[in-house]
Amino acid sequence: MDALHITGIHFAEVLQSGPPWLEKFWISVTTLADPKCIFTVCFPLAYFLDRKVGVSVLWTGLVSEWLNVVLKWFLFGERPFWWVHESGLASKELVSLRQFPVSCETGPGSPSGHCMITGAALWPLVTALTALVSRRFRSPMVKLIPFGAYVMLLLAVGLSRVFLLAHFPHQVVGGILAGVALGWRLQAYTPAAHAPGFFITTTLALLLSCFALHSLVIAAGIDIDW
């Protein structure tokens, strides 16, 4: 595992050695792709365009947010900013890394929440846009634009998280794959016909299950706040 971490650190060095203008770009990407933006920006916009799509974005965002927390409790995962010092790598070789205000994230790092939640929640919106474009244009290249933009966004989000030392590359890849799989799977089970009470009940159930899982893990002697 150390070899994987060291490779990730060197990859972050390469990213940080890029042109200065890229720094603002990566910071902007990671800020705009913050999971809370799914609920404050993407959901309202999607709902305005199409109610079912909006509900699907909210539903996948909610479930993926919950699952990401649970996965991090069981998968743990180091954070590059902390690992490079705690592992002793910084004292063994010259490591040229820069710190940013958002670098010092605490808590487990696997899988990346930015990649997983964004990948899942935007899947219904991307498929809806792809269907809309397919009805209006015959060109295969034009039909692929929404999906292509989705892939490019996820890649940019993943690279931004590595650049800022918030995640290792393998945590980003895991987050993207989990997000895409969740979005694809949950879209077919969107509870679009349910009343608001269903979502309130579901949210409370997920919240209480988190507390229960947290208590069970602590009782088992696992320190998830390491």
pLDDT recorded at residue 15? 93
Nearest to 76 by CA among 216, 214, 225: 225
Q: What is the pTM of this model?
A: 0.91
CA angle 71, 3, 153 (to 5 degrees): 55
Quote the pLDDT of residue 40.
93
Q: The tokens of 4 are what?
A: 């994987």
Per-residue pLDDT of the chain (226 residues; tens, 9 = 90+): 888 999 999 999 999 988 888 999 999 999 999 999 999 999 999 998 899 999 999 999 999 999 999 999 889 889 998 888 888 887 788 788 888 888 878 888 999 999 999 999 999 999 999 998 888 888 888 889 999 999 999 999 999 999 999 999 999 999 999 999 999 999 888 887 888 888 889 889 999 999 999 899 889 988 877 7
Active site residues: 114, 167
- What angle separates helix 145-163 from helix 21-32, to the nearest 10 degrees? 110
How many contiguous H segments (helices) and E segments (strands) does the chain have? 13, 0
Q: Is 14 exposed, middle or buried (0-12, 13-18, 19+ CB in 10 A)?
A: exposed
pLDDT for 198 equals: 86
pLDDT at 171: 96
